[in-house]
Amino acid sequence: MLDLFITNVHGHYHVPDIIAPLGSSDHNCILWKPNVSNNPRCKQPRAKHRLVTQERKDALGLCMGITDWSTVYNSASVEDKVATFNKTLQTMLDVCVPPSKSKTRDVDKHWITNKIKVAVRKRQSVYRKHGKTEKWKKLRNWVQSLIRKQKKNHYNRCIGMLKKNNPREWWNFVNNELGRTQKSKGNVTVTDVPDDRVADTLNDFFAEAWSDSRTFNLFPLPLPSSSDDLCSIGQVKAVLRRLNTRKSGGPDDIPNWVLSAYCEDLAPVVTHLINFSYNTGNMPSLWKTANVCPIPKTPAPASKKDWRPISLISTLGKVQERLVLNKFLPIMKPWIRDQYAYMPKSSTTVALLKAYQSWLQGLDTKKASMVRVLLADMSKAFDRVDHGILLQLLAVRGTPSKMLAWINSYLSGRAQRVIANNQCSSWRYVTSGVPQGGVLSPYLFLVYMSSRTTRYETTDNNGYADDIGLSRTIPCADVEADNTMQEETAHLDSWAAENNMIMNGDKSFELRMCFAKTPPEPPPLILGGKEEEVPVVTCATYLGFKVHSNLGWDSQITHVTKKGSRRLHFLRLLAKGGMPPEDLLTVYTTLVRPVLEYAHVLYVGCTVSQRNTLEAVQRRALRIINRNSSSPTPSPLPTLQSRREEAARALFTQMRANDHPLHYMITNDRKEETGRTLRNHNHLSMPKCRTERLKRSFLYQATLLHNKSL
């Protein structure tokens, strides 16, 4: 494309200007300016915001204290109450903290000085006249030295103190230097769609995942005559005070900082709104609307599929959801089985531990066996939840009528709009799914998924939200004729069809784990209503962990070391910017080490070679941290292996609690097994293992570490 411009329209451009290379590049730069008579002025963008000062906050606080909320209390319906409350609060904000528009413009880096600018001009001038001479090289080195010193001085003078005084601003600086900011880098674009139509186009595209929910003829429910308040003023005050003031609000335009700063004044009226809404079984419409912000999935988004919807809903609506959840969670806990998302003491690590232990024990037998694992994928599961089916599940399982009526209102009548390029799309009513960004939504989804069962009791069922893992252990002699795994797949397909879900066979995978000399060939699996077979792979990603069919950890360790090594570039950039070693150490432990330690308790029994591979990344990080230090000190960090062992002991201690989902794995102590008080009677019995493979598993190694610590 550039060749065509140079060849055909070269008359519209000035003679190219060759300048010095940038940074350490070997290639010169070329400036090719257009030959235009007038330079059009770029229109500087304006941002609308409220300038919050202490004086304005004091005025708003005084206004809050003298406001009469009787018009809210005396309104007849919850819609009128919320509309009056919102109008009154917006009026106070507009008077005390009026919105204003300000220009946004690019500025020099904070460490740029006039001395550096003069040095750069001298360097460029010498290059234009004489090229890459010794004089130019001296000036180049001089500029680089000035920049390094000024970066270090700026950090020590302005940034270093923020780490203790204002950690948030310090991390803002770090993320800006690393290019990890979440700020929008341009307009939202879709190929062949004008900018003013992008918002509506994306709103229509996001709505394609919805489906028509079935009607549930139980409503309207007869509500109890007695008033049973959902919450007290003190509870609401505590929730408002803990709000994250950095998060954006929803379409009601009430900033979080207002709700948090003036929780004492607002708690009584907000409590009245929440309790009235709950007792009447009617959630206000304003609290059920959402602004959708498109976030790019790829570095250069072009099509509709390259954008991910992020919903911003009313903060007061989320406050009410939080208070409803406090009552709903104890009711729903007994319904949830084999699910490790969102529930207390559950995580991806717990789900992976259960799966790995099941697979290893299935293969730790005298007779050769095969473990068949299906990692099933569901398409847009959260968006396809059928409201009628969900409400029926809640009703059948004994949800209180008042709560059921409110949840029905919470799910119905929701609307969303997309905001892009300073344009708002038209409102679209949501016909299915659980609200994105809601506090209650994940738990309603778990209730919906709790109706999924297995065909056979011996099938291992592992669920994490919409991620499904099914596995069966089959003797090698029966593998070729065994159809139980296909029956499980058909059972899953049947459940999906009955519950308005779509199984995606193309994105699902099967792992076959077998250590026989000649593994048998089982019949293929068909999933998703298509005649295509589920792909059989030797390595698959499950809950962010690389699972190999040999149940080894080489794939995962290689993956995390590569990812961690790439992040070492963060340390190099910040070290060049003058950051001292102690602050670089903080960046390493926050941004790099967690990558190396994801679900690391699974491979607490890894080999010496695998340990050394992981430790090498930490040693490289410490070399970068101490590179510019005048007196490098020995590593103040514990080894990654010692941290793995400590994490394994901590998780094992949690598992010993009766309410932990993996408590059933814990063995009895020696006194319970023998009935005698032996020398090591408080030690736990070691799990029975036939193979070295199972001895390296978490359960065996954690039991060993626990006994050693006694």
pLDDT in tens, 231-282: 999 999 999 999 998 888 899 999 999 999 999 999 999 999 999 999 999 9
The interaxial angle of helices 233-241 and 315-332, nearest 10 deg, is 110
Q: Is the domain of 89 the same as that of 24?
A: no
- Centroid of chain to Cα 379: 19
Answer with the one of 530, 548, 566 that is the final residue of a domain.
548
Determine what percent of the chain falls in helix, strand and coil, rounding each to the nearest 5: 50, 10, 40
Question: Taking 60 as the threshold, does the pLDDT of residue 634 lie above it?
Answer: no
Q: Is the domain of 408 the same as that of 532?
A: no
In a domain, 156, yes or no: no
Number of domains in the chain: 5
Rounded CA-CA distance 362/48 in Å is 61
The interaxial angle of helices 387-396 and 441-449, nearest 10 deg, is 80
In a domain, 301, yes or no: yes
User: What are the distances in angstroms from CA 425 to CA 199, 276, 296, 416, 419?
Assistant: 5, 32, 18, 9, 6
Rounded CA-CA distance 208/342 in Å is 27
Task: Answer whether 438's CB lies under 8 Å from 387's CB.
Answer: no
How would residue 46 be classed by pLDDT, with cut points 50, 70 and 90? Answer: low
According to DSSP, the residues that pair with 669 across neighbouring strands are 684
Tell me which residue of 520, 526, 452 sits closest to 485, measured CA to CA.
526
Rounded CA-CA distance 13/590 in Å is 49
Tell me which residue of 614, 624, 617 sits closest to 580, measured CA to CA.
624
Q: Is the domain of 528 the same as that of 456?
A: yes
Domain that holds residue 695: 554-709
Q: Is the domain of 213 the same as that of 271?
A: yes
Question: Taking 60 as the threshold, does the pLDDT of residue 105 lie above it?
Answer: no
Rounded CA-CA distance 324/230 in Å is 7
How would residue 651 be classed by pLDDT, with cut points 50, 70 and 90? Answer: very high
Q: Which residues lie below 8 Å from residue 634, measured CB to CB, with a gap of 6+?
A: none
Q: Is the domain of 564 the same as that of 468?
A: no
Q: Is the domain of 436 the same as that of 451?
A: no
Tell me which residue of 339, 397, 378, 590 sits closest to 499, measured CA to CA.
378
In a domain, 154, yes or no: no
Q: Is the domain of 619 the same as that of 583?
A: yes
Least confident of 76-90, 148-162, 545-559, 637-651: 148-162
Q: Is the dihedral of CA 89, 91, 92, 94 positive or negative?
A: positive
Q: Is the domain of 569 the same as that of 681?
A: yes
Q: Is the domain of 498 the same as that of 509?
A: yes
| 3-state DSSP of 507-564 | HCEEEEEECCCCCCCCCCCECCCCCCECCEECEEEECCEEEECCCCCHHHHHHHHHHH
Answer with the one of 532, 548, 564 that is the final residue of a domain.
548
Rounded CA-CA distance 576/403 in Å is 58
In a domain, 271, yes or no: yes
Residue 456 DSSP class = S
Question: Taking 80 as the threshold, does the pLDDT of residue 65 lie above it?
Answer: yes
Q: Is the domain of 540 the same as that of 409?
A: no
Work out the average pLDDT over 102-126.
78
User: What are the distances in angstroms from CA 467 to CA 140, 385, 396?
Assistant: 55, 15, 25
pLDDT tens digits, 481-525: 999 999 999 999 999 999 999 998 888 999 999 999 999 999 999
In a domain, 505, yes or no: yes
Q: Is the domain of 391 the same as that of 252?
A: yes
Mean pLDDT over each residue of the chain, to the nearest integer:
88
Answer with the one of 548, 564, 584 that is the final residue of a domain.
548
Work out the average pLDDT over 356-362.
95
In a domain, 466, yes or no: yes
> What pLDDT sits at residue 238?
96
Compute how many other C-beta atoms are within 10 angstroms of the C-beta atom of residue 317: 27
Q: Is the domain of 373 the same as that of 389?
A: no
In a domain, 516, yes or no: yes
Compute how many other C-beta atoms are within 10 angstroms of the C-beta atom of residue 178: 17
Question: Taking 70 as the threshold, does the pLDDT of residue 667 lie above it?
Answer: yes
In a domain, 94, yes or no: yes
